[in-house]
Structures are given as structure tokens and as C-alpha cells.
Structure 1
Amino acid sequence: MKLKPLADRVVIKMVEAEETTKSGIILTGAAKEKPEVAEIIEVGPGGMVDGKEVTMTVKKGDKVITSKYSGTQVKVDGEEYTIVRQSDILAVVE
């Protein structure tokens, strides 16, 4: 099954947290922070949203940072995704 977002929606998948710190310390499951960076899987077409024209500025494959509790969590074929509005994306990671 494939997710195809509508309007200004974006499907993202959280990037796995680092297993080790920069100094080489291996982290246990409880010590890992919740991932903040996500990869864009699919992007909606944009268009009219709430009476305003929305142009999509992000693209598939971009790494982004979103608001911590934004979006809707969905599970498709055993994979967890989040669907957010483009306006919920705070920054693109380059």
C-alpha cells in the first residue's frame, strides 16, 4: 500500500536515533532521545487550502525537523509514518 497525501500534507518517517555519541559511548534504549529529524517520503500537490494558494517548498527525500507533537501517526505495512501539514515543518536539514 502507498500513501498519497492531499493538499498541503507531507508524509514523513522519523530517522533512527544515533546508537553512539560523538565520543563513542554506546547508548542503551532508555538513554536514546526521541528522533527529531524526519525524512520526507511523499509530498502533496499543494493548491487551495483554507482559501489561500499553497505552493509546496519541500520535496521527497528532504530531511526536516517538525514540531514535536504535530501530525497524525499511521502504520502501513509495518512501517510507522507521520502525516503533517507543510506549515508544521520547522526547518529543512542540509
Structure 2
Amino acid sequence: MTMMYKPLHPGEIVKDALIDGAGLTVTQAARKLGISRTALSRLLNGHAGISPEMALRLSKLLSTSIEMWINIQANYDTWQISQFSHKIKVKPLKAA
């Protein structure tokens, strides 16, 4: 299945949930997640993605599933790499 639109960076979704939705500051949200303010800022500004550990932290804080956050990141990554698929020249294996 090919996505026709660019999905939001996962950091934008986290920002909507924590900063806009819960009314937390970046510093408050970082403390609640048990991470540095810098690490959270990198995610919120699109310079980092959601790692499995971050997915766990977000799921605990927001009472969501780890899989939801992993899937958000995977969908974003899939769209990103699909933009360059024409540059990757790999021939499929032929059946023996």
C-alpha cells in the first residue's frame, strides 16, 4: 500500500498530545517522561524519531499502547524511504 500524502512527523503528534493537549511545557513533559528536555525537543522539532523506549514511555504517560507509537513512527519512516525508492536499484531474485 502506497501512502499518497506525507504523514505528520511523530514529534508533531507528541506535541499535540503533551504540549497542546495536556497543557504541559516541554520541561514538564520531559520530566514526566523521565528524559532530558533536549531529547524531547529533538523529537518535537522533527530531529529525532520515536524509539521503542520512547514508545514505552509515551504509552505509560498517555495510557496508550506501545504499538500505536511504533506504528506512527513506522508509517512516517515508510513514507520517507518510499520517496527515494526509485534511486535504489535492486533486482528481485528469480525463482529457482
**Shared fold, TM over 0.5:** no
Q: Which protein is richer in strand relative to its size? A: 1
Q: Which has the larger radius of gyration?
A: 2
More helix by share: 2
Q: Which has the higher contact order (CA 8 A, sep 6+)?
A: 1
Instruction: State the TM-score, normalizing by the size of structure 1.
Output: 0.26
TM-score when normalising by structure 2: 0.25
